[in-house]
Amino acid sequence: MSIPQLCDDSFSRIASLMHSAVGLSFSQSKKPLMNSRLAGRLQQLGLRGFEDYAALLESADDGGEFQVAVDLLTTNETYFFREPAHFALLQSELQRSRPQRLAVWSAASSFGDEAYSTAMLLSDLQAQGSIGGDWSILGTDISERVLQSAVQAIYPAERLREVSDQRLKRYCLRGEAESEGLVQIRESVRSHVRFGQLNLCMPIDDIGTFDVVFLRNVLIYFDPPTKSAVVDRVLSRLRPGGLFFLGTAEGRVPCNTPLTVLAPGAYRKGPAK
């Protein structure tokens, strides 16, 4: 069977649906990416072409296929302690402020690498007496599939390439036999982390307020107006003076919430003093 090719009409239909439903933005330059990410799915479903797939996504009874398409179009590489300068800054700030309670939100948590990286850091700081034991991390994502994986907390060892040997010993279990090459995060870390599904383009339920928010490497999927709306929506859940992290390659996003720049991709909520 030949690989299905995405025509302009089907691309426009799928892109329009993704934008209206979940805020994802796909310019014409993303057409090859959409083709490559979804072509295999068409073959799995036995569909003749992207016209049929677009019709399936548009139907009221899609059998959950829309969520599958979102998963395929938004999954990107992730690994533990990505952009280490952010974690170093977080450590420095917490060692200075020494909070007894701490709430962190990983707002685009994907497979959980970011949430568990933060949990390892906070576990270290708690052991050092720099923070209290009352800390928690919420990881949210639009993809149910990646959240299910995050809860299991099992990863290829290569994804933990930036984790120190000491942390690997303290916080990870190495797989053996048929599980060789896999690593599971220990329960002592996982007990501080919970996950839930959330669409950043919709009003956010009362999930509480946070002292630290990560919103990294997800804004690339949104157009400029959606980016600004998402950032303000997320920042409404960050307490004044809290820390906010964007992907360093994403640059500062225009928003109505005052932010003070601390470092590339790192901000404090509130105007500079």
Determine which one of 13, 113, 141, 190 is catalytic: 141
195 touches 115 (CB < 8 A) = yes
3-class SS at 263?
strand
3-class SS at 99?
coil
Burial class (CB in 10 A: 0-12, 13-18, 19+), 261: exposed
Locus of tokens 């964007």: 246
Of 196, 202, 59, nearest to 115 by C-alpha is 196
CA–CA separation, 109 and 139 (whole Å): 5
CA–CA separation, 103 and 112 (whole Å): 16
Active site residue 37: yes
Tokens of 213: 């928010």
Determine which one of 37, 82, 170, 239 is catalytic: 37
CA–CA separation, 174 and 232 (whole Å): 40
- As beta bridge partners, residue 208 has none
Locus of tokens 């990646």: 146
Active site residue 134: no
Residues labelled catalytic: 37, 141
